[in-house]
Amino acid sequence: MIDFLSKLLEMRNPEDVEKQTGARKLAEDTLVRANAELAHRVEELRASEERFRLLVDGTKDHAIFMVDPDGRVASWNPGAERINQYTAEEIIGQHFSRFYPEGDKEAGKPGRNLQLTLAEGRYEEEGWRLRKDGSRFWASVVITALRDEAGRPRGFSMVTRDITHKMQAEEDVRRLLQEETARRAAENLAEILQLVHKIDKIGHWEWDSLTDTNKWSPEIEALYGLRSGEFEGTYQAWAKLVHPDDLAQAEEDVRRAMETGQYFTEFRVVWPDGSVHWLETRAYVFKDGHDKPTRIAGVNMDITERKLQEEALREADRRKDEFLATLAHELRNPLAPICNGLQILCLTDEPAAAERARQMMERQLGQLVRLVDDLLDISRISRNRLELRKARIPLTSVLDNAIETARPLIDTKGHTLTVNLPQEAIFLDADLTRLAQVFWNLLNNSAKYTDPGGRIDLSARRDGAWIEVSVRDNGIGIPAEAIPGLFTLFSQVTPSLERSQGGLGIGLALLKGLVEMHGGTVCVSSPGIGAGTDVVVRLPLARISADEPAQPTSPRITHSPCRRILIVDDNRDAAASLGTMLALAGHDTRAAHDGLEALELAEAFRPDVVLLDIGLPKLNGFDACRRIRGQPWGKDIVIVAVTGWGQPDDRRRSREAGFDQHMVKPVDPRALMKWLDGWGKV
């Protein structure tokens, strides 16, 4: 620089030498000062770098290192070597992402952290980092972006601290809080469930999944059928108590709970005495700060009774479905021959063929009526609406009635019926019709379910104040496992056992209800399939001091071969067929098809008897009866309700409206004729 200035001054004029000498002196002084200042600044920078190096190298609690813009390690302090376990020679030039767990690397976290640092200038986080040996530590990390004077990225400085001890302390506090929360939650849940569901058998528990240890209330041991102190508390000990068929699902529910955080399941447990009980579990899964399950806390409750009820409902529903299918089958069976009989009557002029068709149709119609009556009776019994008309009657009258009704089927199958009754007179306080229905049902079942040419024994013996009546056969028998459910509504022993013989599965339920209404019991026994069946009905004898019932009131009409009868029914076919039948018997009939027409005809015809339907258009039967009774000419007419409504409440309403009698459709023609001839009310 000085030589250059000298040459420049020599090019000037001589007269300027003095000035040139002064300028040179000034330049030399300026240059000396600049060099001295530069040397001073270099010395300061060297001292600063030395202090920074001493500070970084002397810091052993912090890993301080720098990475280039691509993320490769450029410097490494002793603290980084102590914390991360890499020497400078091993790590410099390697990518800093090796400090991140595999899951973080797959998620692209290292690169994302650098991008956030570039955007914000500084980035802080806490998370898991890896040492050279693969062990993890919880780190506090500060990343700072480094730029040159033009603002271009030069790299990043990173400061890492191992704060695992701090995290563990916080986790311990959280765990203690969770344990207390879990304990209180389980206790509160148990109390709430006891209040809401009124469950007495309930206990709370807590399982530590990390140590496989359990805490439980004393009720838990009782729920598993164990005495105090017998429950080991480990997962394997619990698994041994679970029913083998439920264990796989129970373990799967535990695994799923670890994922979802909610635990709700039902399973069976086997008590030491071999009995099986149902338990329901409701619990909550607690997790640490890294979403790892640590414990489950919840309650167990005994739901055995509820499960039994649910099974009973499912069985009842199954039987109901089977009953409906059977009902359809049983209704179609008699309808088919009735339809055939009608066609025969239309096509034949031969009296014998017509008579056979008529008898067949009568039998099938009787079967239909019995089916409907059984349905109505079982409905009334189940609602306590069936009324018994009890009187002091001899046992022989009941059994003779039953035998007479069952005899056609017994004879058709070629069975031998033997009867063995006590010599002394046996009296019962009973409804003759209903009790005869019981024994007819038993005799009919024996006849149906015994191969042709079989044997049926009807016997009775006195046992103190009771009489035991037995119906025994050598028929197909009943398997032992089916006997307990025989008297259940819609019960069928098995579809393969003589199903073609018919039956709705309500006969024995109806029988049992009628026997119990008479204060008796019924039981069934059978040695097994093919070995026959024995049914014993046990009934109380009549009290000796019982008063004789009053004689029934005779109808107001007197015996006469011909009566004036008004038939009122909106079903024209029903009215016409009933009118034809009564006309053939010698009665004078008229027909009306609504309530108002009935009033007009009654006033003009002045009948002795009105057979009046209830459900009529224009004016119902109740109101029509009241209006007839309101006329001077209608006070002595015998008015009979002929209707499909036959419940006790329906009969009460008909009495209140002024009816003399209440008959339920379809009315037995012979019973109606008998009633009209004055033999008493049906």
- Cα 147 from chain centre: 69
Strands 661-664 and 638-643: parallel
Whether the pLDDT of residue 480 is over 70: the answer is yes
Place of tokens 């006070």: 635
What whole-number distance in Å separates Cα of residue 456 and Cα of residue 415?
A: 7
What whole-number distance in Å separates Cα of residue 595 and Cα of residue 664?
A: 19
Which of the listed ranges 165-179, 294-308, 627-641 does the model predict with the highest average pLDDT?
627-641
pLDDT tier at 109 (50, 70, 90 boundaries)?
very high
What whole-number distance in Å separates Cα of residue 112 and Cα of residue 356?
A: 99
Lowest mean pLDDT among 42-56, 79-93, 604-618: 42-56
What whole-number distance in Å separates Cα of residue 350 and Cα of residue 370?
A: 30
278 CB-side CA count, 13 A: 12
Token couple for 623: 């109101």
pLDDT tier at 456 (50, 70, 90 boundaries)?
very high
So what's the pLDDT on residue 13? 56
The CATH code of the domain at 169-302 is 3.30.450.20
Q: Answer yes or no: are the C-beta atoms of 139 and 62 closer than 8 Å.
A: no
Q: Answer yes or no: are the C-beta atoms of 285 and 261 closer than 8 Å.
A: yes
What whole-number distance in Å separates Cα of residue 346 and Cα of residue 362?
A: 17
Question: Which amino acid is residue 215, in one-letter code?
Answer: K
So what's the pLDDT on residue 489? 52
So what's the pLDDT on residue 375? 63
Whether the pLDDT of residue 68 is over 60: the answer is yes
Residue 364's alpha-carbon distances to 330, 337, 368, in angstroms, are 11, 7, 6
**Is residue 342 within a helix (H) or strand (E), and if so which, with residue range?**
helix 304-347
So what's the pLDDT on residue 428? 92
So what's the pLDDT on residue 501? 46
So what's the pLDDT on residue 546? 43
According to CATH, where is 3.30.565.10 located in the chain? 390-540
Mean pLDDT of 397-402: 86
Closest CA to 204 of 227, 181, 175: 181
Place of tokens 């009557």: 345
Which of the listed ranges 76-80, 203-207, 318-322, 346-350 does the model predict with the highest average pLDDT?
76-80
Residues facing residue 284 across a β-bridge: 262, 297
Whether the pLDDT of residue 680 is over 50: the answer is no
Q: How confident is the model over 136-167, as pLDDT tens digits? A: 998 999 999 999 888 888 999 999 998 887 77
Residue 266's alpha-carbon distances to 194, 225, 296, 315, 465, in angstroms, are 17, 17, 16, 20, 51
Closest CA to 584 of 592, 576, 594: 576
Mean pLDDT of 598-619: 90
Whether the pLDDT of residue 195 is over 50: the answer is no
Q: Answer yes or no: are the C-beta atoms of 529 and 479 closer than 8 Å.
A: yes
Token couple for 121: 């200038």
- The beta strand positions in 54-212, using DSSP E, are 63-67, 122-130, 136-147, 153-162, 202-208
According to CATH, where is 3.30.450.20 located in the chain? 59-162, 169-302
Exposed, middle or buried, 79 (CB in 10 Å: 0-12/13-18/19+)? buried
Q: Tell me the H-state helices in 152-208.
A: 164-197
Which of the listed ranges 36-50, 104-118, 488-502 does the model predict with the highest average pLDDT?
104-118
What whole-number distance in Å separates Cα of residue 566 and Cα of residue 568?
A: 6
- Cα 383 from chain centre: 25
pLDDT tier at 579 (50, 70, 90 boundaries)?
confident
The percent of residues in the chain predicted with pLDDT above 70, rounded, is 73
Q: Answer yes or no: are the C-beta atoms of 438 and 430 closer than 8 Å.
A: no
Closest CA to 109 of 152, 145, 80, 71: 71
Whether the pLDDT of residue 477 is over 70: the answer is yes
So what's the pLDDT on residue 40? 54
So what's the pLDDT on residue 548? 46
Whether the pLDDT of residue 495 is over 70: the answer is no
Residue 250's alpha-carbon distances to 181, 239, 267, 531, in angstroms, are 25, 9, 7, 45
Q: Answer yes or no: are the C-beta atoms of 535 and 471 closer than 8 Å.
A: yes
What whole-number distance in Å separates Cα of residue 677 and Cα of residue 120?
A: 113
So what's the pLDDT on residue 89? 92
φ/ψ (deg, to 5) at 398: -65, -50
A 10 A CB-CB count for 138 gives 20
Whether the pLDDT of residue 194 is over 70: the answer is no
pLDDT tier at 173 (50, 70, 90 boundaries)?
low
Q: How confident is the model over 351-397, as pLDDT tens digits? A: 888 888 888 777 777 767 766 666 665 555 555 555 677 889 899 88
Instruction: State the chain's mean pLDDT as an integer.
Output: 78
Who's near 519: CB < 8 A, 6+ residues apart? Answer: 539, 540
Question: Which amino acid is residue 515, in one-letter code?
Answer: V
So what's the pLDDT on residue 486? 67
What whole-number distance in Å separates Cα of residue 196 and Cα of residue 203?
A: 15
What whole-number distance in Å separates Cα of residue 492 and Cα of residue 613?
A: 37
Q: Which CATH class is domain 390-540?
A: alpha beta
Q: How confident is the model over 253-302, as pLDDT tens digits? A: 888 888 887 778 889 999 988 999 999 888 878 877 677 888 788 888 88
Closest CA to 386 of 507, 515, 492, 489: 515
Whether the pLDDT of residue 636 is over 50: the answer is yes
User: Rounded to a whole number, what is the largest CA-CA distance in the chain?
Assistant: 181
Q: Tell me the H-state helices in 261-303.
A: none
Q: Return the CATH fold of 59-162.
A: Beta-Lactamase (3.30.450)
Whether the pLDDT of residue 100 is over 90: the answer is yes
What whole-number distance in Å separates Cα of residue 569 and Cα of residue 666?
A: 13
Strands 455-463 and 416-420: parallel
Closest CA to 344 of 364, 366, 370: 364
Lowest mean pLDDT among 188-192, 239-243, 306-310, 535-539: 188-192
Residue 678's alpha-carbon distances to 76, 583, 634, 640, 681, in angstroms, are 125, 17, 20, 14, 8
Whether the pLDDT of residue 326 is over 60: the answer is no
Mean pLDDT of 444-451: 88
CATH architecture under which domain 564-676 falls: 3-Layer(aba) Sandwich (3.40)
So what's the pLDDT on residue 380? 55
Q: Answer yes or no: are the C-beta atoms of 244 and 238 closer than 8 Å.
A: no
So what's the pLDDT on residue 541? 93
Q: Which CATH class is domain 309-379?
A: mainly alpha
Mean pLDDT of 651-659: 89
